[in-house]
Amino acid sequence: MSDEIYLKLARHMDQLPGGFPPSRTSADLRLLEKLFSLEEAQLAVHLTLDRESAEVIAARAALAPDLVEQRLAEMGTKGLIFPTKGENGTWLYQAAPLVVGVYEYQVNNLTIDLLDAFDDYWSTMEDRAQPETIPQMRTIPIGESIESHLKALTYEQVGELVNAQTRFAVAPCICRRQAKLRGKGCTAPEESCLIFGDWADFYARTGRGRSIDRSEMIALLARADAANLVLQPSNSQDISFICCCCGCCCGVLAGLKNNPRPADVVASAFIATLVPETCEGCWTCLDRCQMEALSEDGDRVTLKSERCIGCGLCVTTCPSGALSLTRKAETQRTQVPPTMDDTWRIISQAQAT
Note whether 7 and 111 are same-domain residues: yes
pLDDT band of 56, cuts 50, 70, 90: very high
In a domain? residue 348: no
In a domain? residue 337: no
- Alpha-carbon gap, residue 348 to 131, rounded angstroms: 10
Note whether 28 and 123 are same-domain residues: yes
DSSP string, 10-70: HHHHTTSTT--PPBTTSHHHHHHHHH--HHHHHHHTT--SS-EEHHHHHHHHTS-HHHHHH
Note whether 313 and 292 are same-domain residues: yes
Note whether 227 and 178 are same-domain residues: yes
Closest to 286 (Cα-Cα) out of 260, 314, 307: 314
Q: CATH number for the domain including 47?
A: 1.10.10.10
pLDDT band of 153, cuts 50, 70, 90: low
DSSP assignment, residue 5? H
In a domain? residue 133: no
Tally of CB atoms within 10 A around 111: 11
Q: Assess contact for 68 and 54: CB atoms under 8 A.
A: yes
Note whether 6 and 124 are same-domain residues: yes
Phi then psi for 63, rounded to 5 degrees? Answer: -130, 165
Q: Residue 259 is which amino acid? A: N
In a domain? residue 88: yes
Q: Residue 253 is which amino acid? A: L
Note whether 284 and 230 are same-domain residues: no
Kindly state the average pLDDT of the residues 30-41.
98
Q: Of 199, 234, 253, which marks where a domain is finished?
A: 253
Of 329 and 325, the structure prediction assigns the larger pLDDT to 325
* % of the chain beyond a pLDDT of 90: 87
Quote the number of domains for the chain. 3
Q: Of 128, 159, 177, which marks where a domain is finished?
A: 128
In a domain? residue 109: yes
Determine whether 169 is exposed, middle or buried from the number of CB atoms within 10 Å of its CB (0-12, 13-18, 19+): buried
Note whether 308 and 295 are same-domain residues: yes
Q: Assess contact for 105 and 202: CB atoms under 8 A.
A: no
Note whether 315 and 208 are same-domain residues: no
Of 153 and 287, the structure prediction assigns the larger pLDDT to 287
Determine which of 39-53, 93-107, 134-148 has the lowest per-residue pLDDT on average: 134-148
Closest to 80 (Cα-Cα) out of 208, 209, 262, 231: 208
Note whether 262 and 247 are same-domain residues: no
Give the pLDDT score at 1: 62
Kindly state the average pLDDT of the residues 9-36.
97
Q: Is the pLDDT of residue 155 over 80?
A: no
Q: Assess contact for 268 and 220: CB atoms under 8 A.
A: no
Q: Is the pLDDT of residue 86 over 70?
A: yes
Q: Which domain holds residue 34?
A: 2-128
Q: Is the pLDDT of residue 330 over 80?
A: no
Determine which of 68-82, 153-167, 246-260 has the lowest per-residue pLDDT on average: 153-167
In a domain? residue 351: no
Note whether 241 and 286 are same-domain residues: no
pLDDT band of 145, cuts 50, 70, 90: low
Give the pLDDT score at 15: 96
Kindly state the average pLDDT of the residues 290-296.
96
Note whether 28 and 119 are same-domain residues: yes
| Average pLDDT, rounded, for the chain | 93
In a domain? residue 272: yes
- pLDDT tens-digit readout, 156-197: 789 999 999 999 999 999 999 999 999 998 999 999 999 999
In a domain? residue 52: yes
Burial profile 15-51: b = 16 or more Cβ within 10 angstroms, e = fewer: ebbbbbbbbeebbbbebbbebbeeebbbbbbbbbbeb
Q: Is the pLDDT of residue 332 over 90?
A: no
- Alpha-carbon gap, residue 190 to 41, rounded angstroms: 32
Note whether 191 and 227 are same-domain residues: yes
Q: Of 128, 151, 181, which marks where a domain is finished?
A: 128
Q: Is the pLDDT of residue 113 over 70?
A: yes
Q: Is the pLDDT of residue 143 over 90?
A: no
Q: CATH number for the domain including 314?
A: 3.30.70.20
- Alpha-carbon gap, residue 302 to 279, rounded angstroms: 9
Kindly state the average pLDDT of the residues 129-143.
87
Q: Is the pLDDT of residue 146 over 60?
A: no
